[in-house]
């Protein structure tokens, strides 16, 4: 699924620039992705659109917002992911609302704890879906695997 998401990021300027689900599914099949990967990615993206619109409807966020993780969230996310999210927020690369969307989408995966490389793709997809400006160094961090290899 995450390979499909990175492919979408690399080939479409924004989430709203993607074609409808049927057309997108056909294009992804033509690009060599299997049906299960495509289906999982499209379901995940639908969830991203839903949680993003619900989060924006809540209203403006406070700059002084902070996050206390429930034990089950910390267990599902893992120490490394929570630390990375904290780093991104402290570096002003994620707003509190974006952080919450990332957490919700990370918890929507089956992995426990979520691998850091997957979390990076989730962060990338959240920022991409909101057409947020992404710092070049952050983009390199999100698309790199940490060992010099690219995620895609």
- For residues 20-45, one letter each, b for 16 or more C-beta atoms within 10 angstroms of the residue's C-beta and e for the rest, the string is eeeebbebbeeeebeeebbbbbbebb
pLDDT in tens, 101-131: 999 999 999 989 999 999 999 999 999 988 8
* Mean pLDDT value of segment 49-73: 77
H helices within the chain, ranges in order?
2-11, 21-30, 35-58, 71-77, 79-90, 96-107, 116-129, 136-143
SS3 68: coil
d(CA 41, CA 87): 27
Checking if the pLDDT of 146 tops 80, the result is no
Burial group, residue 13, by CB count within 10 angstroms (0-12, 13-18, 19+): exposed
C-alpha of 67 from chain center: 18
pTM of the full structure: 0.84
Domain ranges of the chain: 2-143
Confidence at residue 63, expressed as pLDDT on a 0 to 100 scale: 63
Q: So what's the pLDDT on residue 145?
A: 53
Task: Give the pLDDT score at 148.
Answer: 41
Q: Looking at residue 59, what is its pLDDT?
A: 56
Judged against a pLDDT cut of 50, whether residue 149 lies above it is answered with: no
Find tokens 């690369």 and name the residue. 93
Query: Is 69 within 8 Å of 30 (Cβ atoms)?
Result: no
CA pair distance 109, 39, nearest whole angstrom: 13
């Amino acid at each position: 699924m995450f390979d499909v998401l990175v492919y979408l990021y690399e080939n479409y300027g924004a989430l709203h620039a993607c074609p409808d689900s049927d057309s997108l599914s056909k294009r992804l099949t033509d690009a060599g992705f299997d049906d299960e990967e495509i289906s999982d990615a499209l379901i995940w993206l639908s969830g991203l659109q839903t949680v993003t619109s619900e989060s924006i409807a809540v209203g403006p966020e406070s700059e002084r917002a902070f996050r206390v993780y429930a034990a089950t969230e910390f267990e599902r996310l893992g120490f490394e992911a929570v630390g990375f999210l904290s780093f991104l927020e402290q570096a002003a690369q994620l707003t509190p609302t974006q952080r919450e969307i990332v957490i919700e989408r990370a918890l929507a995966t089956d992995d426990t704890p979520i691998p850091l490389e997957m979390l990076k793709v989730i962060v990338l997809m959240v920022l991409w879906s909101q057409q947020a400006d992404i710092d070049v160094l952050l983009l390199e961090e999100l698309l790199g695997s940490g060992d010099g290899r690219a995620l895609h």
